[in-house]
Amino acid sequence: MPFFHRETPEERQRKEQAQAAAHAEADVQARSLQALAAGGIPIRAQERVTQLRAGQGGEVPFSTDLSVNELFLSRKAGYQPLGLVTGSSVYHMGWNRWTFTGEMQAQTQAQHDATISALTRMRLEAVGMGAVGVVGTKLEIRKVGWSKDLIEVVAIGTAIHVPGAAPAPEPFLSDFSAQEFVSLLQAGGRPAGLVVGNCTYYIYTNWGDAWQNASWYNQEHAKYTESLYAAQRAAFGRMHSMARNLGAQGVVGVHIVRNLREIPYTDSNGDREEERSDYVLEFLSWGTAIQQAPGAARPLPPTMMVDLNDADPLDSADDDEDDKEGVKE
């Protein structure tokens, strides 16, 4: 081995290739960040969407999170899946101690913005694919593993289109399964869009509340009950006004996620110190707003039958259905 090693042309070439790849990756990331900051979708998502759009009609297979039954039903109804669409938004939420009970408007706004960003990005992917709408949307609020102040809102659904028809400029979003979607179409209704409403509420524990918490008597904690109601009312009200703005008559399949954060602190009451806890209640509801044509047909009466489906099919996909809707750790 010589002391001074001169680079061979192959080595130099490999090094240059590695550098070029690193530069290209850095460039993609930088452009993605710009796109995200402008409310758009990252470069890789744009690429996948364009690829799917260009290959429609055979070269590129569609992908869908619809089950076989759902795929079959939506085809019957004249719709075809285009591809999986997703939107994501990670938000930083600041928490501070309050000394009164009420809505935390900044946090409410942040949660709202994160949800809307994720949904908007998912819709952008659907627009890019030339879709008329999105079905089967799953909306998840995850806590990001490495920080308690971060949340990620993820929306995943399947973009659908009607072969031969023009794509919609504003594809509708819905969290319907294909079964629900087809039933609704049969009954003369149509989805108007996903609507969300949320409220983040601070519950301050004062001396009286702490005393009541330590009491031996059974009694309603009126302040906690009232806070729950207030948060719920505000969230539902916002969801309803969003639905009304879409010209919808109602919202179906409403999901509710409630999350209680404990904010512990030590209170010094004259000469002695007491451990107390305040609470932050996060309330989020969403559902699909629907429009019904006037004089729409009533759905047909169902036939009775014994079905051969298993209550608990093989795959465990159904087992975690419950926590899909909830907050993930």
Q: Give the integer Cα–Cα distance in Å for 255 and 194.
A: 11
- In the complex, what is the shortest distance from the CB of residue 296 to other proteins, in angstroms, rounded to a whole number? 16
Residue 126 or 192 having the CB closest to other proteins:
126
- In the complex, what is the shortest distance from the CB of residue 89 to other proteins, in angstroms, rounded to a whole number? 5
| 65 and 137 Cβ atoms separated by less than 8 Å | no
Residue 29 or 213 having the CB closest to other proteins:
29
For 312, which DSSP code?
Answer: S
- In the complex, what is the shortest distance from the CB of residue 59 to other proteins, in angstroms, rounded to a whole number? 8
The number of angstroms, rounded, from the C-alpha of 254 to the middle of its chain's C-alpha atoms is 13
Please give the C-alpha separations between residue 267 and each of 203, 206, 208, in angstroms, as whole numbers. Answer: 16, 10, 13
Which residues fall within 8 angstroms of residue 64, CB to CB, at 6 or more apart? 71, 81, 83, 84, 158
Residue 145 or 169 having the CB closest to other proteins:
145
> Which residue matches tokens 């918490």?
213
| 239 and 196 Cβ atoms separated by less than 8 Å | yes
- In the complex, what is the shortest distance from the CB of residue 210 to other proteins, in angstroms, rounded to a whole number? 26
- In the complex, what is the shortest distance from the CB of residue 137 to other proteins, in angstroms, rounded to a whole number? 13
The number of angstroms, rounded, from the C-alpha of 73 to the middle of its chain's C-alpha atoms is 25
- In the complex, what is the shortest distance from the CB of residue 286 to other proteins, in angstroms, rounded to a whole number? 19
Phi and psi at residue 196, to the nearest 5°: -130, 155
User: Minimal CA–CA distance to 134: which of 156, 166, 115, 165?
Assistant: 156
Residue 7 or 149 having the CB closest to other proteins:
149
Residue 47 or 274 having the CB closest to other proteins:
47
Q: Give the integer Cα–Cα distance in Å for 140 and 323.
A: 9
Which tokens sit at 308? Answer: 């051969």
Which residues fall within 8 angstroms of residue 318, CB to CB, at 6 or more apart? 312
Which tokens sit at 304? Answer: 């009775």
Residue 27 or 273 having the CB closest to other proteins:
27
Residue 27 or 274 having the CB closest to other proteins:
27
- In the complex, what is the shortest distance from the CB of residue 256 to other proteins, in angstroms, rounded to a whole number? 22
